[in-house]
């Protein structure tokens, strides 16, 4: 037996059972080609606004290079509290209910690890961010998927929720505004789910990383609804709204007991989020609102443009109310998501992500990010139109 | 079109004045005809004054030019203040901008474009300094433009994001 095999066997059975990311193969293919227009990018096309970069540089010049409190700098937590209250009418105490994390990804991980016992089931609203399933499994949980459809604007319905609840169901996790569909939920729609959540005493993990990126209306946080704060773990961060992906800075808000549990995991693993990133985030919340608004306006204009474009070339596409993704259906072409995406890449050099990597509900769709320049979007639509012409 | 959308339209045109009415319409959610009518009205009202191209002439080898900023001290005149002399200076085609300044040791700031330094010097000594109200001038030549009209003229980095990400 070779050494390589022996080492592989030392991996835990959970890790061995995890599937590699469905995006990976596609990424390798796209990256190896010249002249590719990418609509596959899940991050803003803006560089972090200068004021945040400058705040971070300035903090380094002043020698702010030490650890911060495990929970994050208190002034930053105070700003997060003010921001959440002002923008989304949710109120958390900065000292006991807010924890600054290394990106929203860490927040999702510690939230699941803090509440799950082996075998606990977690409901996952599909299509969903690719990390939810593996992170649930790594925390010992069992993911159970709830489907949403384009006909229903990718909203979670009470029927779908209730059908999948069992004795072992501990929590539900979702991301609204949604990656990859751009679907959102209104307060009225949340309210139809609350009786079921309460009846079955479910924990709610609400990933609100795209909360600022809504078009035409404000984001409704489930945590703001009556009786929901104590059973909700609210997760957000700076990556999307403030174009700060590489800074790895997020936060999680929950009732004090839950937060204390998460803090234990955080302090034994991450210790604290990077100081210079926290300094930049502080500046973002204090003075970065206009930068954010400028970016949101630009996403909205591009959203309008691409959705119109997809419909024009014959792809059915619901109008996404949030995030920066459109999720058109390619079912009319007779091709699967992966086949369509591969054909589009190989024949027209446009990279999109096949919808089924985000779960079963994504089958027959492709995720197209419009966080890219108008010039690129225009070219991409022209190329897609050419492909559609050949397929019809 | 409501005021918010009108503002949005102006921002888009300011960013790229070659954008078609159809494209703008799609982006802001208005019919093409409404965009065309609004643009026409904004032009008539002189809200939209001009559609200039921002050219980085330093990249055009065979187009020698010199930019200078000139601080001008003038004696204001009764009833017309600084306006008369400013308007007179505006008429010279080589003058690209004229501003009345506060808080400076001079009154007017002029941006001038000429083909050579000699041409600029000639303008200052023979045309500007000889005006009745002009008391003194100080000429500063612009050596390099890094940012102009809100646009950085140096090359920006290419998109460095991964082609496909979660």
Residues B91-138: pLDDT tens digits? 999 999 999 999 989 999 999 999 899 999 999 999 999 998 999 999
Tokens of A346: 């190989």
CB-CB under 8 Å, A351 with B162 = no
Cis upstream peptide for A177 (omega within 30°) = yes
The predicted pLDDT at position A25 comes to 79
Q: How far B100 CA lies from chain A's nearest CA (Å)? A: 29
> Chain A residues with CB-CB distance to B under 8 A?
21, 23, 26-27, 30-31, 36, 38, 40-43, 45, 129-131, 179, 297, 301-302, 304-305, 308-309, 351, 353, 372, 374, 378
Residues of chain A in contact with residue B31, where contact means CB-CB under 8 angstroms, are none
What kind and span of H or E run contains B152?
strand B151-152
Query: Which residue, A193, A239, A233, A189, is CA-closest to A213?
Result: A239
Query: Which residue, A369, A378, A299, A315, is CA-closest to B20?
Result: A378
Give the DSSP letter of residue B126: I
Tokens of A157: 């319905």
Domain ranges in chain B with CATH number 3.30.70.920: 58-144
- A249, A103 Cβ separation under 8 angstroms: yes
Query: How does residue B77 score in pLDDT terms, banded at 50, 70 and 90?
Result: confident
- Chain A residue with the nearest C-alpha to that of B23: A305
d(Cα A98, Cα A235) in Å, to the nearest integer?
10
Residue B101 in contact with partner chain A when CB distance is under 8 A? no
- Chain A residue with the nearest C-alpha to that of B162: A41
CB-CB under 8 Å, A26 with B162 = no
Residues of chain A in contact with residue B11, where contact means CB-CB under 8 angstroms, are 297
Residue B112 in contact with partner chain A when CB distance is under 8 A? no
Cα of first residue to Cα of last residue in chain B, in angstroms, is: 38
Give the DSSP letter of residue B48: S
Query: Which residue, A337, A327, A328, A343, is CA-closest to A390?
Result: A343
State how far the alpha carbon of A219 is from the alpha carbons of A44, A103, A206, A295, A365, in Å: 19, 20, 12, 16, 25
CB-CB under 8 Å, B23 with A30 = no
- A32, A345 Cβ separation under 8 angstroms: no
The predicted pLDDT at position A235 comes to 98
CA A92 from chain center: how many Å?
Answer: 22
Give the DSSP letter of residue B128: I
Which residues make beta-bridge pairs with B67? B113
Identify the CATH number of the domain defined by range B3-45: 1.10.10
Q: How far A43 CA lies from chain B's nearest CA (Å)? A: 8
CB-CB under 8 Å, A41 with B161 = yes
User: Hey, of A38, A179, A319, which one would you mutate to test binding to chain B, going by the most B CBs within 10 A of its CB?
Assistant: A38
d(Cα A391, Cα B53) in Å, to the nearest integer?
40
DSSP A221-290: -GGGSTTTGGGEEEEEESTTTTT-GGG--EEEE--HHHHHHHHHHHHHHT-S--HHHHHHHHHHHHH-HH
Domain ranges in chain B with CATH number 1.10.10: 3-45
Residues of chain B in contact with residue A30, where contact means CB-CB under 8 angstroms, are 163-164
- A31, B154 Cβ separation under 8 angstroms: no
Length of chain B: 166
d(Cα A138, Cα A323) in Å, to the nearest integer?
27
d(Cα B134, Cα B75) in Å, to the nearest integer?
7
ipTM of the complex in this document: 0.78
d(Cα A254, Cα A233) in Å, to the nearest integer?
5
Phi/psi at B81 (nearest 5 deg)? 55, -125
Query: Which residue, B79, B133, B143, is CA-closest to B106?
Result: B133
d(Cα A278, Cα A64) in Å, to the nearest integer?
11
Domains of chain A (ranges, CATH numbers): 13-47+290-391 (3.90.1150.10), 50-287 (3.40.640.10)
- A315, A328 Cβ separation under 8 angstroms: yes
What kind and span of H or E run contains A15?
helix A13-17
- Tens-digit pLDDT string for chain A (392 aa): 555 666 767 999 999 999 887 778 788 889 899 999 999 999 999 999 999 999 999 999 999 999 999 999 999 999 999 999 999 999 999 999 999 999 999 999 999 999 999 999 999 999 999 999 999 999 999 999 999 999 999 999 999 999 999 999 999 999 999 999 999 999 999 999 999 999 999 999 999 999 999 998 899 999 999 999 999 999 999 999 999 999 999 999 999 999 999 999 999 999 999 999 999 999 999 999 999 999 999 999 999 999 999 999 999 999 999 999 999 999 999 999 999 999 999 999 999 999 999 999 999 999 999 999 999 999 999 999 999 999 98
pLDDT digits (tens, 9 = 90+) for B79-90: 889 999 999 999
**Does the structure show a pLDDT above 90 at B153?**
no
Q: How far A53 CA lies from chain B's nearest CA (Å)? A: 16
Burial class of A18 by CB neighbour count within 10 A (0 to 12, 13 to 18, 19+) = middle
- A183, A148 Cβ separation under 8 angstroms: yes
State how far the alpha carbon of A32 is from the alpha carbons of A26, A372, A379, B2, in Å: 10, 20, 20, 47
Share the mean pLDDT of chain B: 92
CB-CB under 8 Å, B27 with A36 = no
- Chain B residue with the nearest C-alpha to that of A31: B163
The predicted pLDDT at position A5 comes to 62
Phi/psi at A77 (nearest 5 deg)? -65, -35
Fold assignment, B58-144: Alpha-Beta Plaits (3.30.70)
CB-CB under 8 Å, A305 with B26 = yes
CB-CB under 8 Å, B164 with A40 = yes
The predicted pLDDT at position A50 comes to 93
- Chain A residue with the nearest C-alpha to that of B30: A304
Place of tokens 């234990």: A264
- A371, A241 Cβ separation under 8 angstroms: no
**Computed from CA positions of residues A238, A240, A244, A248, in that sequence, does the dihedral angle turn out positive or negative?**
positive
Residue A315 has a CB neighbour count (10 Å cut-off) of 23
């Amino acid at each position: 037996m070779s050494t390589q095999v022996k080492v592989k066997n030392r991996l835990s059975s959970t890790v061995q059972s995890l599937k590699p990311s469905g995006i990976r193969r596609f990424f390798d293919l796209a990256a190896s080609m010249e002249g590719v227009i990418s609509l596959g990018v899940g991050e803003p096309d803006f560089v972090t606004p200068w004021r945040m970069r400058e705040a971070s540089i300035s903090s380094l010049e002043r020698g702010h290079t030490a650890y911060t409190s495990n929970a994050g700098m208190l002034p930053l937590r105070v700003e997060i509290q003010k921001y959440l209250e002002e923008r989304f009418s949710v109120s958390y105490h900065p000292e006991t209910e807010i924890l600054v994390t290394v990106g929203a990804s860490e927040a999702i991980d510690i939230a699941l690890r803090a509440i799950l016992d082996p075998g606990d089931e977690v409901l996952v609203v599909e299509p969903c961010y690719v990390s939810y399933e593996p992170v649930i499994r790594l925390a010992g949980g069992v993911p159970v998927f709830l489907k949403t459809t384009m006909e229903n604007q990718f909203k979670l319905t009470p029927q779908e929720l209730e059908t999948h609840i069992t004795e072992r169901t501990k929590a539900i996790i979702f991301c609204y505004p949604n990656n990859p569909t751009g679907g959102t939920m209104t307060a009225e729609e949340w309210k139809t789910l609350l009786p079921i959540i309460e009846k079955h005493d479910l924990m709610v993990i609400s990933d609100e990383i795209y909360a600022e990126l809504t078009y035409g209306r404000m984001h409704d946080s489930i945590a703001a609804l009556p009786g929901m704060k104590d059973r909700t773990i609210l997760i957000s961060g700076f990556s999307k709204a403030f174009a700060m992906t590489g800074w790895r800075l997020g936060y999680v808000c929950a009732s004090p007991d839950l937060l204390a549990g998460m803090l234990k995991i955080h302090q034994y693993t991450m210790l604290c989020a990077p100081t210079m990133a926290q300094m930049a985030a502080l500046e973002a919340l204090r003075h970065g609102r206009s930068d954010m608004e400028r970016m949101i306006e630009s996403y909205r204009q591009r959203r309008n443009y691409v959705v119109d474009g997809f419909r024009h070339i014959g792809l059915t596409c619901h109008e996404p109310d949030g995030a920066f993704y459109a999720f058109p259906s390619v079912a009319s072409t007779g091709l699967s998501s992966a086949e369509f995406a591969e054909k589009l890449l190989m024949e027209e050099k446009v990279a999109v992500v096949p919808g089924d990597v985000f779960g079963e509900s994504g089958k027959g769709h492709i995720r197209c990010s419009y966080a890219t320049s108008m010039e690129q979007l225009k070219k991409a639509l022209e190329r897609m139109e050419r492909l559609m012409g050949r397929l019809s | 079109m409501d005021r918010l959308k009108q503002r949005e339209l102006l921002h888009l045109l300011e960013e790229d004045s070659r954008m078609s009415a159809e494209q703008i319409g799609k982006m802001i959610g208005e019919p093409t005809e409404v965009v065309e009518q609004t643009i026409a009205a904004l032009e008539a009202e002189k809200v939209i004054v001009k559609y200039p191209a921002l050219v980085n002439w330093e990249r055009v080898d065979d187009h020698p030019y010199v930019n200078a900023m000139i601080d001008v001290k003038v004696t204001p005149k009764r009833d017309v203040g600084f306006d008369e002399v400013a308007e007179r200076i505006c008429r010279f085609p080589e003058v690209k901008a004229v501003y009345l300044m506060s808080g400076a040791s001079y009154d007017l700031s002029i941006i001038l474009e000429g083909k050579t330094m000699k041409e600029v010097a000639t303008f200052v000594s023979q045309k500007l300094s000889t005006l009745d109200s002009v008391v003194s001038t100080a000429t500063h030549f612009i050596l390099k433009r890094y940012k102009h009209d809100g646009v950085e003229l140096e090359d920006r980095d290419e998109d460095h994001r991964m082609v496909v990400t979660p």
